[in-house]
Amino acid sequence: MRTIAILSAAVILALGATTAVEAKVSEADVAKLGTSLTPLGAEKGPNADGSIPAWDGGITTPPASYKKGMHHPDPFPDDKPLVTVTAANKEQYKEFLTPGQLKMFETYPDSFKMNIYQTRRTASVPQFIYDATKANAPRATLVSEGNGVDGASIGIPFPIPANGLEAIWNHILRFRGVDIETERNQAAPTASGDYTLVEMAEEIRFEYSRPEANLEELKKNNILFEFKQVVTQPARLAGTALLVKETMDQEKEPRQACTYNTGQRRVRKAPNVAFDTPGTVSDGLRTTDDFDMFNGSPSRYNWELLGKKEIFIPYNDYRLHSDKVKYSELLKPGHLNPDYIRYEKHRVWVVKASLKEGMRHIYKTRVFYLDEDSWQVSIADLYDNRDELYRVAMAHGLNYYEVPTHWSTLEVYYDLQSRRYIAIGLDNEGRMYDFDAKLSEANFTPAALRREGIR
């Protein structure tokens, strides 16, 4: 791996640390946020050859044609691919590809390709997130052997990360909005390309990201976010429902989860909704902690921060998100239709998670590639207990510019062994996210789950 950021000696000593004792960020480093670094901690300037431009604030206003409720129009409709990477020329671009991407070319040599576009650093968030991030930088700490965070609210907790745990917590706590209602669908095509669309209604209330959130209340309530998911189609699965209350300190209080089963018509606690339990109606193609590329407790792994690298990642995938595209055009045998996918060269933080001795998980090793501008995990290479690539996950991000926030429009988990995949977040033919939803704690109770399941 060609590292492009030289870590200081202090950071190198901290790599892989899992204790609550962390070196504080100096005043001099905090002062870099918003100057030589972006307000979230990325390198503000361009790379050496200018193929990655300087960050200029990202997208801060929607296009003139946009109205809330629309699918987000592409701000760059005239962009054309600079190059197309295929199985035939992949060696020429190997330094910008992950092992998982190289394996995709090997697995699907005749159909998988990557269209590489001009890099546009569009990621942005509201000013109150930038302000909170700067306030967090000198005071945020890991607690409970890395199973929780203290001293942070609203913004990114560790904009200048010292180790892999801090970096993955930045992903977990990144801003995606406050109250959100979505109708997201998923599909798991067979090897021949056949699929059944699973339609889901979701509500998310981010306690951590609320502008009024404060350290004392977050610590007292210990709730990061509340999440409710109800399957609405197909009929045989309709009413299946999940409720999750995610905690900030998972050692103090683990994730609280319960499910509603339509056959039993009962709400049951579900402590097994974690780690490598198969995801909801996923055909066993992803784990629970794969959702959002990684979620939940990091306790089963040792985490290393390997530095930074320039790679091709899915970015500004507005065409993939378009309501002019049908699911049948996207979902093809083996992988998504590559004609609709946009890749760009970006700097990413590389974080390696290695399974701890005595712990169990179907993934022995996970390597995450985090977009430096948003802290979104963009790609994850997932290895089995034989140290072979098992799955490759990709998050297709864009700027939801009415918020604004950079978030994935679609997450895809490619199973290299079964030659199948699952796509989560399909919304081309559905209603767009509502970032202005007004949700309360009453939306996230067992009684509310029961009502949604019966309806």
Residue 315 CA: distances (Å) to CA of 11, 36, 43, 159: 29, 23, 18, 21
Long-range contacts from 319-326, C-beta under 8 angstroms, 24+ separation: 319/74, 320/396, 320/409, 320/410, 321/71, 321/72, 321/396, 321/398, 321/409, 321/410, 321/427, 321/428, 322/71, 322/74, 322/428, 323/71, 323/428, 323/429, 325/428, 326/428, 326/429
Tell me which residue of 233, 242, 287, 282 sits closest to 261, measured CA to CA: 242
Kindly state the average pLDDT of the residues 11-16: 39
Mean per-residue pLDDT, 95-104 = 98
Looking at every residue in the chain, the average pLDDT score rounds to 93
Give yes or no for residue 437 having a pLDDT over 90.
yes
How long, in residues, is the chain?
Answer: 455
Tell whether the model's pLDDT for residue 148 goes beyond 80: yes
- Angle among Cα 331, 334, 338 to the nearest 5 degrees reads 60
- Integer Cα distance of 175 and 125 in angstroms: 7
Vertex 27: Cα angle to 21 and 29 (nearest 5) = 85
The percentage of the chain sitting over the pLDDT mark of 70, rounded to a whole number, equals 94
pTM: 0.94
- Whether 9 has a pLDDT exceeding 80, the answer reads no
Q: Is the pLDDT of residue 24 over 90?
A: no
Whether pLDDT at 23 is above 80: no
What is the per-residue pLDDT across 77-88, written as a single tens digit (0 to 9) for each?
999 999 999 999
Q: Give yes or no for residue 264 having a pLDDT over 90.
A: no
Assess contact for 39 and 33: CB atoms under 8 A: yes
Q: How far is CA 165 from the centre of its chain?
A: 15
Give the pLDDT band (50/70/90) at residue 454.
low
* Residues 124-134, mean pLDDT to the nearest whole number: 98
Does the pLDDT of residue 455 top 70, yes or no? no
Rg (CA), the chain: 21
- Amino acid present at 74: D
> Quick one: pLDDT at residue 22?
52
Beta strand pairing status for 377-383 and 389-400? antiparallel
φ/ψ bin of 314: left (φ > 0), alpha (ψ from -120 to 50), beta (otherwise): beta
